[in-house]
Amino acid sequence: MEDLPRAPERRYLNRELSSLDFNARILTLAEDDSLPLLERAKFLAIFAGNLDEFYMVRVGGLKRQAAAKISSRSADGLTALAQLTAVSAKAAPLVERQSRIFVEDLLPRLGRAGIQVVRWKELDENHRHDMDKLFRERMFPVVTPLAVDPGHPFPYISNLSLNLAVLVRDPGVDRHHFARVKVPPLLPRFVSVSGEELFVPLEDIIAANLERLFPGMEIVEHHAFRVTRNADLEVNDDGAEDLLQALEDELRRRRFSPAVRLEIESSMPPRILELLKRELEVEDNDVHKLPAPLDVAGLWELYSLDRPDLKDEPFQPVTHPDLPSAEEPASDIFEILRERDILIHHPYQSFNTSFQRFIEQASADSNVLAIKQTLYRTSGESPIVEALTEAAKAGKQVVVLVEIKARFDEEANINWARTLEQAGCHVVYGLVGLKTHGKLCLVVQRDGDHLRRYVHVGTGNYNTKTARLYEDLALLTSDPDVGADVSDLFNYLTGYSRQTGYRNLIVAPHDMRGRIVEMIERETKLAESGEPTHISIKVNSLVDGRIIDALYGASGAGVKVDLFVRGICAARPGVKGLSENISVRSILGRYLEHSRIFYFLNRGDEDVYMGSADAMPRNLDRRVEILVKVCGAEQKQRIKSLLHLALADNTFTWVMDGDGEWTRLSPGDDDPFSYQQHLMRLAHDPAHV
């Protein structure tokens, strides 16, 4: 293996640029004429939201490193400053492309379909009258114009808020005054005019009524702008006596974090832009000039319209064939699990008739003595939290590990933690210095003279809403070894256990990287001995250098390595002398591919693991992650078939080359095959091939 390239810049791709590449693939779906119009609008909204988060977290972190003059480099050899330069160069054309799709393509097409988004000047007098009335009654009392002059310092601009930069003057006087007006988020981004499918941007209504906000002044001009702030939250919980209080303090500090991006209307003149740049302390590279209207994430509101003709045909998840459907009389799910394991595949199979029924039955079963569960993210009106609180009120021991450091869900999870505590649940906030990202639920039931344990291990969050949008796997089992493992793990999470070894689980940060590398190297040695070998890994992100290097070594020994990486990938496939036998695919589409699978042929005694962990240093070193070994022959075969079907997709799959360039596959002369659409058909017709 001496001939392998060793220089970091030759072995790895940059994770930040790879993240932007993923968002570029989302943008391609927004351009795809084969998709229904509102689905395209949805993908454009997803792109905009992803870019917001990328700047808040990744760019925010890089700026913090650059400001601190940290000399460390990325795995591909770039300093923080060099990465910021590369990010700016790659993001700028994506933003231009987003604007072009929105203004030149989607808005005209939506208009032709009867959903018109127009500017104020395009409204007739009756519509303007209605919007003026709306402003007077619902907006004027809460809109506050803020002057900027020697007696009024430049106001704080909150993260992701939409604002108007306004120039006014006294009539007949040539001196201009600057003011900022925040567009309040109390109304939709695009306001329906007179209850019709005719919409006007919210800031247009305010702009048309600026004279009411500045009576006696002449409005010279106004331009919209939007600020993104660093939200790379860092809670030093090593010495925090009260983690809840420490996190709440940090959330308050986040509001005043530095600006990392300024979005402006392309019509904004240089003098106003220079003022904003100076006051917000942003550089030219941080400025995105866009045609109005800004903030296309607001397209989610249009997507919610009742226009089934412009959306994908609705899909109703089915109940797993081994479980009773919602219409059937309630049956004992624990009795079913005593007979066999059940592998659930969301969103094709129902979350409500699998895990939700599991937890609700556990809550109501008088023989259930204890329920222990992790919660990373959950839905607003959560039936899961409701079942846990009911169980606690019924006298069961309920232990819930609520990860209050889950990014952007911190406040919601703090509220859930307090709700659960008030109901009598034992609430744990996780381990010092670690996030608990694993998805686990343990139910302990009295069965005569002994106890039985039932376990749910998933790849996705306990969230009834995202379970219909995210592709995930979940294992329901009464396997004694898995039950014992999960019991031991909860003792580690809630107490002072120092156990790090398990039977059927692999747990980060203890030994997950080591075990994955060990299984990769086992395939490598088998290949060197002439044995058949194969590795297939499906993750959201692949960044960890040790795992990538182990895969390079396997490739060099002749192991065929199929990687399915939805988002960020730092590995370089198909490079001579490095990775000839590695392929990298990314599947996008109607559902967010979210399951994590690790498959190793192992001489035919296949090792199959599924769980919560991506192959990233943060997951392997700074989180509690769980992979569970899938032992049942039927369940292993099901996962193998999913990986095989994923290889066959030729419509929503992108393939990456060794330079990090992604190419979307097309059917060509073959029949079109969509992995997700095939699974939807298969769910309702198991005989479908």
pLDDT in tens, 242-283: 555 555 555 555 556 899 999 999 999 999 999 999 999 999
3-state secondary structure of 608: strand
pLDDT of residue 406: 52
Is the predicted pLDDT of residue 149 greater than 80, yes or no?
no
- Return the structure tokens found at 268: 């904004």
- Provide the sign of the torsion angle of the four alpha carbons 212, 216, 218, 221, taken in this order: negative
Q: What's the CA gap between 266 and 289, in Å, rounded?
A: 5
3-state secondary structure of 286: helix
E strand or H helix at 369, and its extent? Answer: strand 368-375
Is the predicted pLDDT of residue 3 greater than 90, yes or no?
no
- Return the structure tokens found at 2: 């001496």
User: If pLDDT is split at 50, 70 and 90, which confidence band does 496 have?
Assistant: confident
pLDDT of residue 661: 97
User: If pLDDT is split at 50, 70 and 90, which confidence band does 689 have?
Assistant: very low
Q: How far is CA 411 from CA 183, 282, 389, 407, in A?
A: 23, 28, 19, 10
pLDDT of residue 409: 56
Domain 507-684 sits in CATH at 3.30.870.10
Structure confidence by residue, pLDDT tens digits, 325-372: 777 766 799 999 999 999 999 999 999 999 999 999 999 999 999 999
Domain range summary for the chain, segments of one domain joined by +: 1-112, 120-292, 333-503, 507-684
Residue 163 · residue 154 · CB < 8 Å:
no
pLDDT of residue 330: 67
Q: Do domains 333-503 and 507-684 have the same CATH topology?
A: yes
- CATH superfamily placement of domain 333-503: Endonuclease Chain A (3.30.870.10)
Q: What's the CA gap between 482 and 502, in Å, rounded?
A: 9
Mean pLDDT of the chain: 91
pLDDT of residue 629: 98
User: If pLDDT is split at 50, 70 and 90, which confidence band does 374 have?
Assistant: very high
Structure confidence by residue, pLDDT tens digits, 523-558: 999 999 999 999 999 999 999 999 999 999 999 999
pLDDT of residue 432: 75
Residue 133 · residue 112 · CB < 8 Å:
no
Q: What's the CA gap between 583 and 588, in Å, rounded?
A: 17
Beta carbons within 8 Å of 366's beta carbon, 6+ residues apart: none
Structure confidence by residue, pLDDT tens digits, 637-653: 999 999 999 999 999 99
Residue 582 · residue 551 · CB < 8 Å:
yes
Beta carbons within 8 Å of 270's beta carbon, 6+ residues apart: none
Between these two residues, 448 and 649, which has the higher pLDDT value? 649
pLDDT of residue 245: 59
- The model carries a pTM of 0.92
pLDDT of residue 353: 94
Strands 439-447, 368-375: pairing kind: antiparallel
End-to-end CA distance of the chain: 43
Q: What's the CA gap between 171 and 77, in Å, rounded?
A: 58
Residue 351 · residue 472 · CB < 8 Å:
no
Residue 121 · residue 67 · CB < 8 Å:
no
| 510 a catalytic residue | no
The contacts found for 87-92 with CB under 8 angstroms, 24 or more apart, are 87/16, 87/17, 87/20, 87/58, 87/59, 87/62, 88/285, 88/286, 90/17, 90/20, 91/20, 91/51, 91/288, 92/288
User: If pLDDT is split at 50, 70 and 90, which confidence band does 420 have?
Assistant: confident
pLDDT of residue 241: 47
3-state secondary structure of 30: helix
Is the predicted pLDDT of residue 391 greater than 50, yes or no?
yes
pLDDT of residue 529: 96
Give me the amino acid identity at 128: R
Residue 363 · residue 371 · CB < 8 Å:
yes
Residue 317 · residue 347 · CB < 8 Å:
yes
Rounded-to-10 torsion of CA 88, 94, 96, 100: -170
pLDDT of residue 504: 96
Q: How far is CA 123 from CA 299, 622, 676, in A?
A: 20, 54, 42
Structure confidence by residue, pLDDT tens digits, 554-579: 999 999 999 999 999 999 999 999 99
Is the predicted pLDDT of residue 1 greater than 50, yes or no?
no
- % of the chain residues with pLDDT over 90: 76
Tell how far CA 281 is from the center of its chain: 29
Q: What is the mean pLDDT of residues 652-657?
A: 98
Tell how far CA 685 is from the center of its chain: 31
Is the predicted pLDDT of residue 2 greater than 60, yes or no?
no
Residue of 346, 437, 510, 594 marked catalytic:
437
Structure confidence by residue, pLDDT tens digits, 167-217: 999 988 888 899 999 998 878 899 999 878 999 999 999 999 999 999 999
Q: What is the mean pLDDT of residues 88-108?
A: 95
Report the topology of domain 120-292: polyphosphate kinase like (3.30.1840)
Q: 1-112 domain in CATH 3.40.605.10?
A: no
